[in-house]
Structure 1
Amino acid sequence: MEVLQMKKDESSKKKRHSLRDSIHEFLALLSYVWRWKKSVFAMTVIYMVSYTVMMALQVYLPKAVLAELENRQTIQHLFMVLGMISVFLMGSILLSDHLVVRLRNNNFILQNEMKMDYIHKLLYTEYANLENMEFITKRDTAKAQLYGGDIGEENVSADLSNFLTFLNTMFASVLSIAFYSVMLGRQSVFIAVAVLLTGIAVYAVFSQSGRRNYQYNERISSAWRKAKYATDRAGDFSMAKDVRLYQMENWLTGVTRKYMGIRQHYKGVVQRFDAEMEALVSVCIAVQRLSIYGYLIYEVMNHGMPASDLVLYAGMAEALSQSLYECFSHMQKIKQMSFSFHCVQEFLQYGQDTKEIALPIKKEKATLKLEHVSFRFPGMEKDVLHDLNFEADSAEKLAIVGVNGAGKTTLMKLICGLLTPTEGRILLNGKDLGMMASDERYTWFSCAFQDVSFLPVTVQENISMCTAKKTDTKKVVDCLLMAGMKEKVEELPKGLQERMEKNINEDAVDFSGGERQKLILARALYRDASVLILDEPTAALDPLAENELYQKYAGFAKGKTSFFVSHRLSSTSFCDRILLLDGGRIAEDGTHQELVEKGGLYAEMFELQSHYYKERMSQEGRLA
């Protein structure tokens, strides 16, 4: 059933990739190489000539020896001819080998250049793209082309690091084909036509085999990804407890065996088809050779062709066949590489990028106003936030509350300019936030979001988010003090110079979840911008640390427009105003006292949470 289902899935295909598309992609890749390093094409031309000379001399050498013997030349004359041919042959071989080494090195540099473009795109693309599934899909595809996919040996992406090598061999083969075709055509049109017809037949076989393999590789890769998912879950130590407690061993083993079986089935189909195609190619080449040798023997026996000419033309025919084979096989590889490059370019050209300019952080007073702001993620039919209208005055402390999934974090991303409203606008000091360049928008905000992330650098650099030379150490210490982490960091053997992230630095310090959240707070305080956004800053803190943060919040937010996002309503009483989000809308707006007296949803949620905390404290008191 699974095999049938995968066949049905395969039937819903994208439009066929045309020859015109392939040519356009190939020219785009050549254009990229031209802009990167024009001297590569000079090397290509020299390699084409040296390769063709090398192959031609190898073919001519047996003819020269036989001709000398047929003409009864002296030993001295024979060695002189062989010496001249050998000098040119050795020179062309050495030059070709030198160019191959140079091109391989350029291959590596070229792919690194593409990888740097890929990394640059990730760093400078608009943040909204990072939450766009179309962008994420293009990113994953581009990454597979540059770094190799994670779909096993059936990875259909081409290795772009070999592009220049294949390109030069293909062009050299084209020149060799032209040379041998002219030389053979002067002696016999029959030989040239026989070889060319065989080459066309071989190309047709290659094309058919390539299309068939690509189709089946898609199915094989699909099965491999599913099998690999189950294998990865078995090796994911974070799931080790669940695997054992819920007895998932047989399930994971069964899934792996099932999809590996499907993979094996399709691989068998591909291997049988490839064997048939290889047999067909062998038959075509055998027929070609029999025809050519038959013709040459006929010429020797009936028209007195010298044996040296027979050897020469037979060698040329063989060399032409080899050149055609190499040319067509490399064309298939380059076609795949051009498509791979096209996937990379689609990713690099997606959406807008920010400017590469570090602007000074804004510290002036800021007023924010939302006018009929709605937002939905691309591809979704329903708004996450709908028709929001409110104003945050300069130095006002706002609490944003609501149940999980109410859109609190999305609202904060809209306010700080990471996301753009689908409808409406956000004004910052009367200026439309959407009309500002993204790098200018970001200078107004200091943010501490829920998702905690650090770099494998020192504690100090993770707070300042710049190099040690540009870091104000005293300011870092002050921010750690405000965040409640000064004593912890001072206790470390290297203090502020202790490195983080054990997956990179084996001797890195290991902070708890709550401590990491405090470090993120210290990072936001160090930035010290006009607007402070704290998104669930107490989620990983214990009650004592949480209470300490509440008491310090007024100091953090002094002189700043600030937003404190939380689902714990006990954290809102110290804010000037509270906005309650429900169903993507502002359900209630007011001070803590006003909303409690109103008796609405906020009052109901506050009462429930208060009852829980009172009951918990009572139980802890009885246990004590």
Structure 2
Amino acid sequence: MDLSKAPKPPKIPAWRNVIYAWGKLRQQEGPAYFFLLPLSIVCEVAAPLLAVGLPSVVVRMYQTGSPWQTIAWTILALASALTFLNLGKSFCQDRLTSIPFFFRLDMGHKFLARCVTRSYQQAESPAGQASMMMAQQSIYAGDEIGIEALVLAAGNSLCQMAGFVVYFLISAQLNPWILLVILATTFGIALLNGRKNRLQNAHFEVEAKSNENIIRVANRIMDSKYAKDIHLYNMKAWLLGTLDSLIGLHLSRSSAYCRKLFTLQLGKQLLILLRDGLVYGYLISRMVTGSLSVADFILFAGVASGISAWLSGLAEQCSNLKSNSDILSHYRLFMEELPQAKKQAAPPKVQVPNPGRAHELRLEHVYFQYPESQDYALEDVSLTLHPGEKLALVGANGAGKSTLVKLLCGLYHPTKGKILLDGVDVSTLSPEDYFQEFSVVFQEVFAFAFPLSSNVACTPNDQIDEARLRESLRLAGLAEKVESLPKGAETSLLRTLDKEGVELSGGQMQRLMLARALYKNASMLLLDEPTAALDPLAELDMYQHYNQFAQGKTCVFISHRLSSTRFCDRVIFLENGHITESGTHDALMAQAGSYAHMFQIQSHYYQLKEGEENG
């Protein structure tokens, strides 16, 4: 996956993304987070300050001759307050960590909903796929990357800022040069932390690609589907060598990354050593000269260390905020929730005319061009599909047949030209209503890891029409196979969720897709090479068997093999995105053009095949 193809989101200030995330958080999880955050900040700042101040107070009381009972009660009171603050901090942190986690899960549900509701053309394009991959980092990369990390970084930034302000005010009595040293070294540490974050982000991208390649090769080695070829073609040494090479490259890059990381960590520790040496040297010199008491030394030593920690933490959290804000911008772009995106109000959609009945479908000078292509996949295609007509769409591979069927069923939209359903421009129709008028079977076959019955009906079990299910399986030629399964139609497909699931063969999977289309029983039927895994004679037999079901429906049979043409009312021959021949099977044979030539070649093959089987 080339993530460079992902569209670039507009630059959004981090604070605006924080407001967006907080708004979504309050909307989905309620106001609890925003009550707990200020309480947590108070506990986070007060607890370490009290821990620093307690020894100073005790030493001061001892030096001034306070009674031991007073000292004991003071220690008990301050220790109790510190315990209370630490308990409050722990309680708040637990809740302030869990709320963003559940918020991320809820946002993940919205992300998946967006994945299945965006247009097919958007989802299929390289840019659309890259956009989805970038957006999902905001949800599925854990709690250190994305929207959860942004919420946590925003809360932590406020806490670090509050701590820095309080400690800075307390340390105002120190020499300004010492404060400048603290700020300068902390700024240097922040720069090193920023460099470390950039290094980590760059390494993360390289590591993700490297891991993807390693996992892909390892999965091929472990996948039983490839075991036959691996053994028969002696591919073991080649595959293991490739895997070793990928792992070696991964380790080499990781070693270089670790060396750079160590250098940055060393620089950071040297700056800390410089800061502490100067600060403690200054405080000790004042204490030796008598201008600073032991109690004040203890207090200011803790405060000086604390102010640097708060400032370093603030810089680190701001860096996290920036990097996660950029990631969230990709999510918002994918979800179409950017403030800069000026959406035009879509005109109200009209209802499909005569739903559930055979329709007339007309293409008027339709052109289609894929986003990253310079040429048209279809060019100036005009075609009328009459109600109840059976149309065979044939041509060589790459002629544009699958593209045309995706245009017919509404998955693609014309680059130029119009598609009309019963005289109504399909762009004005509700996509969901329009889809209901089509049963479509594509070349690509797939199954969900659910019971076979659910794969056919595409509805929950309690809504399945059992009689229609049985009839669909019978017409698709799967009834006998289903009866042989342990749980019949309730047998799970694949072994992803059920260890007792079954794996169907390629031909059985294509019959399953046919059964799915038959169960839907839509008024328009599109078959895009659904029998490609069958041999030509078996394909012819299935088409003839299937033709009985298609009576009264508007049908399009797409194939580069010509089994479907004899029982169709009309044949369209596609070449290089153009309709070059149109007519009945007999008329096109009489023309002796490209269609007749292809049919004669395939007929010869059928005869040879039939002779082999009979012989």
Q: Give the structure-2-normalised TM-score.
A: 0.90
Q: Which residue is equivalent to 1:240?
A: 227
Q: Deviations over 1:490-519 (max 9, x none)?
A: 343433333322222112244332222222
Q: Deviations over 1:30-71 (max 9, x none)?
A: 444344444322221111111111111111111111112111
Tell me the distance in 1 between the aligned counterparts of 2:613 and 2:332.
Answer: 61
Partner secondary structure for residue 289 of structure 2: helix
- CA-CA distance at 1:335 after TM superposition: 2.7
- CA-CA distance at 1:424 after TM superposition: 0.8
- CA-CA distance at 1:386 after TM superposition: 1.2
Tell me the distance in 2 between the aligned counterparts of 1:390 and 1:493.
Answer: 48
Which amino acid in 2 is paired with 1:53?
Answer: A
| 2:328 corresponds to 1:341 | yes
Q: Which residue is equivalent to 2:310?
A: 323
Q: Deviations over 1:289-330 (max 9, x none)?
A: 222222222322334422111101111111112222322223
Q: Deviations over 1:539-597 (max 9, x none)?
A: 23456754443333343222211111122213210000011111111111010100111
| 2:519 corresponds to 1:526 | yes
Of residues 610-619 and 419-428 in structure 1, the stretch that sits farther from structure 2 once superposed is 610-619
Contact residue 517 and residue 537 of structure 1 kept, 8 A: yes
Correspondence 1:555-570 to 2 at 5 A = 555-570=548-563
- CA-CA distance at 1:94 after TM superposition: 0.6
| 2:390 corresponds to 1:397 | yes
Tell me the distance in 1 between the aligned counterparts of 2:252 and 2:462.
Answer: 60
Contact residue 369 and residue 426 of structure 1 kept, 8 A: yes
- CA-CA distance at 1:484 after TM superposition: 2.5
- CA-CA distance at 1:461 after TM superposition: 2.2
Contact residue 359 and residue 439 of structure 1 kept, 8 A: no
Task: Tell me: CA distance 1:495–1:361, structure 2 relative to 1, closer, same or farther (3 Å).
Answer: farther
Q: Which residue is equivalent to 1:33?
A: 25
Task: Tell me: CA distance 1:269–1:16, structure 2 relative to 1, closer, same or farther (3 Å).
Answer: farther
Which amino acid in 1 is paired with 2:321?
Answer: I
Alignment counterpart, residue 494 of structure 1, candidates 487, 495, 509: 487
| 2:182 corresponds to 1:195 | yes
Contact residue 104 and residue 164 of structure 1 kept, 8 A: no
Task: Tell me: CA distance 1:209–1:455, structure 2 relative to 1, closer, same or farther (3 Å).
Answer: closer
Task: Tell me: CA distance 1:385–1:14, structure 2 relative to 1, closer, same or farther (3 Å).
Answer: closer
| 2:501 corresponds to 1:514 | no
Q: Which residue is equivalent to 1:376?
A: 369
Tell me the distance in 2 between the aligned counterparts of 1:368 and 1:588.
Answer: 19
Alignment counterpart, residue 109 of structure 1, candidates 102, 105, 109: 102
Contact residue 373 and residue 386 of structure 1 kept, 8 A: yes
Alignment counterpart, residue 207 of structure 1, candidates 194, 199, 205: 194
Which amino acid in 2 is paired with 1:497?
Answer: E
Of residues 435-444 and 494-503 in structure 1, the stretch that sits farther from structure 2 once superposed is 494-503
Tell me the distance in 1 between the aligned counterparts of 2:11 and 2:271.
Answer: 25
- CA-CA distance at 1:247 after TM superposition: 4.3
Partner secondary structure for residue 283 of structure 1: helix
Task: Tell me: CA distance 1:457–1:209, structure 2 relative to 1, closer, same or farther (3 Å).
Answer: closer
Correspondence 1:273-288 to 2 at 5 A = 273-288=260-275
Q: Give the structure-1-normalised TM-score.
A: 0.88
Tell me the distance in 2 between the aligned counterparts of 1:99 and 1:462.
Answer: 46
Alignment counterpart, residue 301 of structure 2, candidates 309, 314, 323: 314
Q: Which residue is equivalent to 2:426?
A: 433
- CA-CA distance at 1:605 after TM superposition: 0.6
- CA-CA distance at 1:143 after TM superposition: 2.9
| 2:53 corresponds to 1:60 | yes
Tell me the distance in 2 between the aligned counterparts of 1:523 and 1:228.
Answer: 33
- CA-CA distance at 1:287 after TM superposition: 2.0
Task: Tell me: CA distance 1:386–1:114, structure 2 relative to 1, closer, same or farther (3 Å).
Answer: same
Q: Which residue is equivalent to 2:401?
A: 408
| 2:411 corresponds to 1:422 | no
Alignment counterpart, residue 357 of structure 2, candidates 339, 343, 364: 364
Alignment counterpart, residue 535 of structure 1, candidates 519, 524, 528: 528
Task: Tell me: CA distance 1:360–1:483, structure 2 relative to 1, closer, same or farther (3 Å).
Answer: farther
Of residues 567-576 and 493-502 in structure 1, the stretch that sits farther from structure 2 once superposed is 493-502
| 2:575 corresponds to 1:582 | yes
Alignment counterpart, residue 464 of structure 1, candidates 453, 457, 460: 457
Contact residue 514 and residue 542 of structure 1 kept, 8 A: no
Q: Deviations over 1:323-368 (max 9, x none)?
A: 223222233333332222222223222999999xx99993123000
| 2:106 corresponds to 1:119 | no
- CA-CA distance at 1:26 after TM superposition: 4.6
Alignment counterpart, residue 551 of structure 1, candidates 544, 553, 566: 544
Tell me the distance in 2 between the aligned counterparts of 1:13 and 1:391.
Answer: 37
Tell me the distance in 2 between the aligned counterparts of 1:486 and 1:242.
Answer: 32
Task: Tell me: CA distance 1:276–1:494, structure 2 relative to 1, closer, same or farther (3 Å).
Answer: closer
Partner secondary structure for residue 588 of structure 1: strand
Q: Which residue is equivalent to 1:596?
A: 589
Partner secondary structure for residue 369 of structure 1: strand
Task: Tell me: CA distance 1:498–1:362, structure 2 relative to 1, closer, same or farther (3 Å).
Answer: farther
Of residues 277-286 and 523-532 in structure 1, the stretch that sits farther from structure 2 once superposed is 277-286
Task: Tell me: CA distance 1:483–1:245, structure 2 relative to 1, closer, same or farther (3 Å).
Answer: closer
Task: Tell me: CA distance 1:361–1:451, structure 2 relative to 1, closer, same or farther (3 Å).
Answer: farther
Task: Tell me: CA distance 1:550–1:259, structure 2 relative to 1, closer, same or farther (3 Å).
Answer: closer
Which amino acid in 2 is paired with 1:320?
Answer: I
Q: What root-mean-square deviation, in Å, do the aligned CA atoms of Structure 1 and Structure 2 show?
A: 3.2
Task: Tell me: CA distance 1:522–1:248, structure 2 relative to 1, closer, same or farther (3 Å).
Answer: closer
Tell me the distance in 1 between the aligned counterparts of 2:17 and 2:580.
Answer: 53
Q: Which residue is equivalent to 1:44?
A: 37
Alignment counterpart, residue 183 of structure 1, candidates 170, 184, 189: 170
Contact residue 145 and residue 157 of structure 1 kept, 8 A: no
Which amino acid in 2 is paired with 1:33?
Answer: L
Tell me the distance in 2 between the aligned counterparts of 1:77 and 1:228.
Answer: 67
Tell me the distance in 2 between the aligned counterparts of 1:286 and 1:398.
Answer: 82
Tell me the distance in 2 between the aligned counterparts of 1:326 and 1:233.
Answer: 45
Of residues 404-413 and 451-460 in structure 1, the stretch that sits farther from structure 2 once superposed is 451-460
Partner secondary structure for residue 425 of structure 1: strand
- CA-CA distance at 1:22 after TM superposition: 4.8
Alignment counterpart, residue 612 of structure 2, candidates 577, 599, 619: 619
Unaligned 5+ segments in structure 2 are: none
Q: Deviations over 1:208-255 (max 9, x none)?
A: 333344445545555555455444444444333444444444444444
Task: Tell me: CA distance 1:64–1:361, structure 2 relative to 1, closer, same or farther (3 Å).
Answer: farther
Unaligned 5+ segments in structure 1 are: 1-8, 150-155
Task: Tell me: CA distance 1:158–1:407, structure 2 relative to 1, closer, same or farther (3 Å).
Answer: same
Q: Which residue is equivalent to 1:445?
A: 438
Of residues 478-487 and 417-426 in structure 1, the stretch that sits farther from structure 2 once superposed is 478-487
Q: Which residue is equivalent to 1:152?
A: none
